[in-house]
Amino acid sequence: MTARKFSVLETGSPRYVLARKKAISKSVYMGIALAHVTEGQIEWACSSYDGNEFETHEDVFCVDSATPKASHLEKLNDTIIKTVRDYANSHNYRIQAVCIGCDEATAKVVAEHPELKDPIRSMCTRFWFDIDAAPCIYTLRGVSLTEEAASAARKVYDWFTPQFPGSIPRIAVDPDTNEVLVDMDGHCHMVDLKHFEDTTDKPTWDKLLQLSEECKQRKLKILFFNSTPQGGGVALMRHATIRLMRLLGVDCRWFVAKPNPDVFVITKRKFHNVFQGVTADEQYRLKQEDKDLWIEWCEQNFDNYWGKGKDVVESADVIIMDDPQVSAIIPRIRELNPQARIVYRSHIEIRADLASVPGSMQHDLWDFLWSGFISKTDMFISHPVAGFIPPRVPHTRVALMPAATDELDGLNKKMSAADIEYYRRVFNRAAEDQGSPGITGDRPYVIQIARFDPAKGIPDVIEAYRAFREQLTNKGIEDDQQPQLVLCGHGSIDDPDGTVVYEQVLQLLGQPEYREYARDICVARLPASDQLLCAVLRGSFCALQLSHREGFEVKVTESLSKYKPVIAYRSGGIPLQIEDGKTGILVERGNTKGVADALTRLYTDTAYYQDFVNELRTKEQDSKRQQYFTPFQSVNWLYLATELAYKGNDEAVAKNQPAGEVDGTYMGDGQIRQWNAEYVRSFWQK
């Protein structure tokens, strides 16, 4: 009997079924144009654009008065959302971003009736939360409504990166000042203040409003400086902070340096890695030519973008320097604006024990940075680990603050099952392009999300997974019933180690002891899509964080907030984030067998696993996590700004700063002692 041959496109064929499982919905970008007409109608049109062609739709929405009311627009929102959703579903399209706009005449009507602004902004937030499309607002011009809709679609298309599935916005930087133009220079409107309020406890929210009002009344200007606008926890925090500050009406801006790959080799390998103690190789000791190149780069950035006549530093009241990458501008700031108060925010684990040893690389590096630059700041903000505070920092100038993440951005917002499935397919496409297996839809998986960095313990993750799989096999569990492992993360332009470590991981998987498991280990360097990371984390069984050195890992916070128990090493600030045996499991650094044992029990003991999930869902845990989210962190920054700034307060001081020495020796090994340095929160909560 002749075997039947299937057409590639024939329904039911093996290739068809496989293609359907891997297919990714076509990405389109939507423009929506509104126009108010005097006959008691609102005309609207939408246009989708995929980079090649448009599809348009026009309609009329009747209102019962010559001037539209907020209630009319709310009903129109429902109509537009339903129309767009039905259109996307019927065409198997994925709407990545939406531009909502109107002509100048309609914009004038809205300006004359401020109550109409809220429903327009509400339409934007509904697109973000309901359809997972990044929304923005523009004023449009065109000879017809459909032309305006098409113009809006092109406009939003230009702001995104359509060559990769997923709503990945281009990060814009002002060419004159290198200011990061967060959320498409304010045109993107994903959330309102009420969304932040709904996720924040009332005392914190009230304090946020009080401090933001004081900042506005005193006209305080707050600046952040760091090296890169995208990639890594600092950039993520700053995007969220600026977004909330803008909604509050606070003058808060963020500036980055012009990239220089030669300098980034110095700041990553000879600053960051040395401070964390992940390298003892003398080739990474800072040399004079390194110092000269780094200082020249910092000073050129200052002179070209932020110096005299740029109306940046000279008009600032409080300046926050994030980590040491651009700290050589601190003397220039002092010279140009002596009244400005400068805060140094240390995000990484600085091995204070090594920095205290004369002649060590850490000691010489810290001596260079402290004596010439960082000592000229007014405050030193550290993660809440005494062992991260290097020598020579006056403890009267130290305050503690953990890292934060944002509940409402693409990394953390709630997602539908359809969204998670879409991003799983996007992940698999990225993994396949890199020669790695993808996530199998019907199998659980363990995940570690982290940069490909020597401090993140990725070889330990692979070894722990091997031991875990071996234990499951010994228990008689079939291979196809055993979890996969996912290793993924974003890159960063100031991190030259990413490619090196990624290649080392691939080589490790080729070793004989790991070869049989390599087909179930998904390794992918992912583009900067926050929702992609959010979805793969939400789809996981549990999370790992086996960093050997760590400041304060926001990925732990993000995992716990998604009710995923975390197995982690007792490294850096991680033990402060996890309640051992309640929200996760802490293991001694390097104990991969302990990690495997923990994974095995979580996977095979359903009741044990569920206890963790139930605990993570409690109101008590939700309240504890508040301090790790954007509104709480913003209260910290606004408190510091109002206490430190001279403007409107000639006697400004950092009130209630601890007077004693930091009395603690917690070195990130889980041994926590008391010290006199206090959390910033302890001041304003009093």
Q: What pLDDT score was predicted for residue 493?
A: 66
Are 580 and 663 in the same domain? no
Within 258-341, residue ranges assigned H as helices are: 261-265, 273-276, 288-301, 330-336
Q: What pLDDT score was predicted for residue 664?
A: 37
Q: What pLDDT score was predicted for residue 2?
A: 38
Q: What tens digit of pLDDT does each residue of 581-626 get?
A: 999 999 999 999 999 999 999 999 999 999 999 999 999 999 999 9
Q: Give me the domain span that covers residue 516.
A: 417-628
User: Average pLDDT for residues 338-360, to the nearest whole number?
Assistant: 91
Q: Which residue has the tokens 């570690």?
A: 448
Q: Which residue has the tokens 């990553």?
A: 268
Q: What pLDDT score was predicted for residue 66?
A: 67
Token digits of residue 637: 């920054």
- Rounded CA separation 320/226 (Å): 9
Pairing of strands 54-62, 41-49: antiparallel
Q: What pLDDT score was predicted for residue 278?
A: 81
Number of structural domains found in the chain = 3
Are 621 and 639 in the same domain? no
- Rounded CA separation 229/232 (Å): 9
Q: Is residue 398 within 8 Å of residue 380, measured between CB atoms? A: yes
Residue 3 lies in a domain: no
Residue 163 pLDDT more than 80? no
21 pLDDT band (50/70/90 cuts)? low
Residue 445 pLDDT more than 90? yes
Are 132 and 202 in the same domain? no
- Rounded CA separation 542/578 (Å): 14
Residue 524 pLDDT more than 70? yes
Q: What is the largest CA-CA distance in the chain?
A: 96
Q: What pLDDT score was predicted for residue 4?
A: 37
Closest to 223 measured CA to CA, from 322, 151, 352: 322
Residue 206 pLDDT more than 80? yes
Domain boundary among 613, 628, 643: 628
Q: What tens digit of pLDDT does each residue of 283-298 get?
A: 889 999 999 999 999 9
pLDDT, greater one: 119 or 565: 565
The whole-chain average pLDDT of the chain stands at 88
Strands, E assignment, 103-147: 134-139
String of DSSP letters for 631-651: HHHHHHHHHHHHHH--TT-TT
Are 510 and 585 in the same domain? yes
Residue 16 pLDDT more than 60? no
Q: What pLDDT score was predicted for residue 675?
A: 53
Q: What pLDDT score was predicted for residue 395?
A: 79
Are 66 and 154 in the same domain? yes
How wide is the angle at C-alpha 449 spanned by C-alphas 446 and 454, nearest 5°?
115
Residue 9 lies in a domain: no
Q: What pLDDT score was predicted for residue 15?
A: 47
Q: What pLDDT score was predicted for residue 11?
A: 47
Are 310 and 455 in the same domain? no
Q: Is residue 97 within 8 Å of residue 134, measured between CB atoms? A: yes
Residue 7 lies in a domain: no
User: Average pLDDT for residues 503-519, to the nearest whole number?
Assistant: 94
> Quick one: 123 exposed, middle or buried, by C-beta within 10 A (0-12, 13-18, 19+)?
buried
User: Average pLDDT for residues 476-503, to the nearest whole number?
Assistant: 87
- Rounded CA separation 486/35 (Å): 48
Are 509 and 525 in the same domain? yes
Q: What tens digit of pLDDT does each residue of 264-280 get?
A: 999 999 999 999 888 88
pLDDT, greater one: 185 or 19: 185
Q: Is residue 330 within 8 Å of residue 225, measured between CB atoms? A: no
Q: Which residue has the tokens 């050997």?
A: 548
CATH of the domain at 148: 3.30.420.40
Q: What tens digit of pLDDT does each residue of 657-685 get?
A: 333 344 433 333 344 444 567 889 988 98
Q: What pLDDT score was predicted for residue 621?
A: 95
Q: What pLDDT score was predicted for residue 142?
A: 85
Are 342 and 473 in the same domain? no
Token digits of residue 292: 């000269």
Residue 379 lies in a domain: yes
Q: Is residue 478 within 8 Å of residue 572, measured between CB atoms? A: no
Q: What pLDDT score was predicted for residue 397?
A: 87
Residue 17 pLDDT more than 50? no
| Of 244-248, 401-405, 526-530, the least confident | 526-530
Are 484 and 350 in the same domain? no
Residue 412 pLDDT more than 70? yes
Are 600 and 645 in the same domain? no
Q: What pLDDT score was predicted for residue 6?
A: 39
Three-state secondary structure string covering 485-518: EEEEEECCCCCCHHHHHHHHHHHHHCCHHHHCCH
- 27-41, 323-337, 373-387 — which one is most confidently predicted on average? 323-337
Q: Is 442 helix (H, G, I), strand (E, B) or coil?
A: coil
Residue 654 pLDDT more than 80? no
Q: What pLDDT score was predicted for residue 651?
A: 54
CATH of the domain at 530: 3.40.50.2000
Residue 377 pLDDT more than 50? yes
User: Average pLDDT for residues 109-131, to the nearest whole number?
Assistant: 88
Are 512 and 568 in the same domain? yes
How wide is the angle at C-alpha 232 spanned by C-alphas 231 and 237, nearest 5°?
105
Q: What tens digit of pLDDT does each residue of 216-237 get?
A: 999 999 999 999 998 788 999 9
Q: What pLDDT score was predicted for residue 658?
A: 36
pLDDT, greater one: 20 or 523: 523
Are 369 and 339 in the same domain? yes
Residue 176 lies in a domain: no
Can you say how many angstroms the Cα of residue 480 is from the centroid of all Cα atoms in its chain? 34
pTM of the model: 0.90
Token digits of residue 497: 């180690």
